[in-house]
Amino acid sequence: MYDYIMIRYGDLILKGKNQHIFRHNINNQIAHKMYGLPVEIEFQHDLVFIKLNDVEPKDVIDRLNYISGLSSYSKAVKCEYNLDIIAEKSIELLKHEIKEETTFKVETKRADKTINLKSFEISKLVSKQVLRSVPNLIVDVKDPKTTLNIEARREATYIYTDKIPGIGGFPTSTGGRAMLLISGGIDSPVAGYLTMNTGLEIECVHFESSPLTPIESVQKVIDLVTVLSKYAPSSKIKLHLVPFREIHELILKEIPESYTITIMRRMMYRIADSLAKKNNCKAIVSGDSIGQVASQTLESLITVQKVTDSLVIRPLATYDKNEIIKIAKKIKTYLISSKPFSDCCTVYVPKRPVIKPTDERASTFEQAFDYQKFIKIALKNTITLEINERKPLNIIDKGFSMEEIFDEKTRNGKTDS
């Protein structure tokens, strides 16, 4: 039935000084995401058309749903500007779409101003023919369930009835890069998605305590980053795996129980700060949501943040858990996050974590061991992987320790030091 997918950019992309950069980026992404499909892409000033060449519209739309900055799409039929042909195509389309009684109107947009009829006149003439041939249509110009849209452009006329919302936001990679602290939980992948949706590129850092925690919890993070990589313009995201067991064990041994989570977080932020600066990331992103648990009270967040001068972004700060879960389901990270393997923050959770920690007390406790030395070692042994949606990585059954699993080759030729 359909020849084309018609794609609309978000409003802001067509305005302002940076519009050509935005458009250039987003057009590249559209081309990249269509990789392997025999479609043709036609870029125009205000719209993008994908000529389907018999590819199922759903296959194209599924891929467009990973591109930030697209406002909506329509499955369209193309024809020349000729009222009889437009009416004939419209009848065909509506007979295909409409199975039961529905309210209806025709709406015309005339981008080609050389056309001698006004928009409403075109609508009226087509409507007349359509109503004669298609059953089940009741005219309602105020609030119709079905709108037949006719878009008369210079090069051709397009007809469509649907308007499928895109994921909105800004094209990724227009705003710089940020370092996402990713755990295996529900929140941090959602924070990563929202960050990319505002136009930032991300790298991810995960603190892993294997074999104190199961290697499956690292696999979970790899799987989560693989899902997130679908939203990246290049379909790739760097994942830094920081060996955290030594620091983790020292904290459990040396720090009063109520402060273990606070100090664990401070160590994470010190390391993340260093990785962020080394990798040219201008901010750190976390999945914190205020008040969710003891480690996310304002006092806790302040005490943790004290150890870094990087900008810390918390996209979920004000979200409630249900809203977060809704997004996690939409972006398909929820089922992965719901797998039961614990990471370093969920093994040995203190019975009574401090609700109002202070920087002074945390600093005093931290003097119990030479953490700078252990941070250096952790940084030196950090493994950096390039996660690519097109090359899923499976580490389960490959070994029990990270050194065993990641030889020089699978590490993408480099460790971070």
Residues lying near Mg ion in the complex (CB under 5 A) are found at 183, 185, 345
Q: Does 181 bind ligand ATP (CB under 6 A)?
A: yes
Under rule CB under 6 A, how many of the chain's residues touch ligand ATP? 21
Q: Does 349 bind ligand ATP (CB under 6 A)?
A: no
Nearest distance from residue 296's CB to ligand ATP, in Å? 6
Residue 202 contact, options ligand ATP, Mg ion, none, Cβ 5-8 Å cut-off depending on partner type: none
Q: Does 293 bind ligand ATP (CB under 6 A)?
A: yes
Q: Calculate the dihedral angle through the C-alpha atoms of 328, 334, 338, 339, rounding to the nearest 10 degrees.
A: -140
Nearest residue to ligand ATP, using CB? 185
Element (H, E) at 307: none
Nearest distance from residue 289's CB to ligand ATP, in Å? 6
Nearest distance from residue 183's CB to Mg ion, in Å? 4
- The pattern of x and - marking residues 300 through 339 that bind ligand ATP according to CB under 6 A reads ----------------------------------------
Q: 87 or 272, CB closer to ligand ATP? A: 272
The number of angstroms, rounded, from the C-alpha of 411 to the middle of its chain's C-alpha atoms is 25
What is the CB neighbour count within 10 angstroms for residue 160? 23
Q: Does 183 bind ligand ATP (CB under 6 A)?
A: yes
| 127 vs 321: CA distance, rounded Å | 47
Q: 185 or 233, CB closer to ligand ATP? A: 185
> Quick one: which segment of 79-87, 112-120, 286-294, 400-408 binds ligand ATP (CB under 6 A)?
286-294
Phi and psi, residue 406, nearest 5°: -105, 95
C-beta of residue 186 within 8 angstroms of C-beta of residue 338? yes
> Quick one: which segment of 31-39, 204-212, 358-366, 392-400 binds ligand ATP (CB under 6 A)?
204-212
Phi and psi, residue 385, nearest 5°: -110, 150
Nearest distance from residue 158's CB to Mg ion, in Å? 47
Q: Does 233 bind ligand ATP (CB under 6 A)?
A: no
Residue 286 contact, options ligand ATP, Mg ion, none, Cβ 5-8 Å cut-off depending on partner type: ligand ATP
| 42 vs 60: CA distance, rounded Å | 14
Q: 115 or 347, CB closer to Mg ion? A: 347
Residue 207 contact, options Mg ion, ligand ATP, none, Cβ 5-8 Å cut-off depending on partner type: ligand ATP
Nearest distance from residue 343's CB to Mg ion, in Å? 7
| 54 vs 60: CA distance, rounded Å | 11
Q: Does 345 bind ligand ATP (CB under 6 A)?
A: yes
CB-based burial label for 169 (10 Å; 0-12, 13-18, 19+): buried
CB-based burial label for 133 (10 Å; 0-12, 13-18, 19+): middle
- Find, among 206, 207, 180, the residue nearest to 194 by Cα: 180
Element (H, E) at 238: strand 236-243
Residue 288 contact, options Mg ion, ligand ATP, none, Cβ 5-8 Å cut-off depending on partner type: ligand ATP
Q: 7 or 247, CB closer to ligand ATP? A: 247
Long-range contacts of 84-88 (CB under 8 A, 24+ apart): 86/122, 86/126, 86/150, 86/157, 86/159, 87/125, 87/126, 87/129, 87/130
Q: Does 343 bind ligand ATP (CB under 6 A)?
A: yes
| 391 vs 399: CA distance, rounded Å | 20
Q: 135 or 340, CB closer to Mg ion? A: 340
In angstroms, the Cα distances linking 349 to 198, 252, 253, 258 are 34, 10, 14, 9
Q: Does 281 bind ligand ATP (CB under 6 A)?
A: no
Q: Does 182 bind ligand ATP (CB under 6 A)?
A: yes
C-beta of residue 116 within 8 angstroms of C-beta of residue 81? no
Q: Does 219 bind ligand ATP (CB under 6 A)?
A: no
Q: Does 347 bind ligand ATP (CB under 6 A)?
A: no
Which tokens go with 234? 């290049």
Q: 39 or 218, CB closer to ligand ATP? A: 218
Q: Does 185 bind ligand ATP (CB under 6 A)?
A: yes
Contacting positions for ligand ATP (CB under 6 A): 181-183, 185-188, 205-207, 268, 286-288, 292-293, 295-296, 343-345
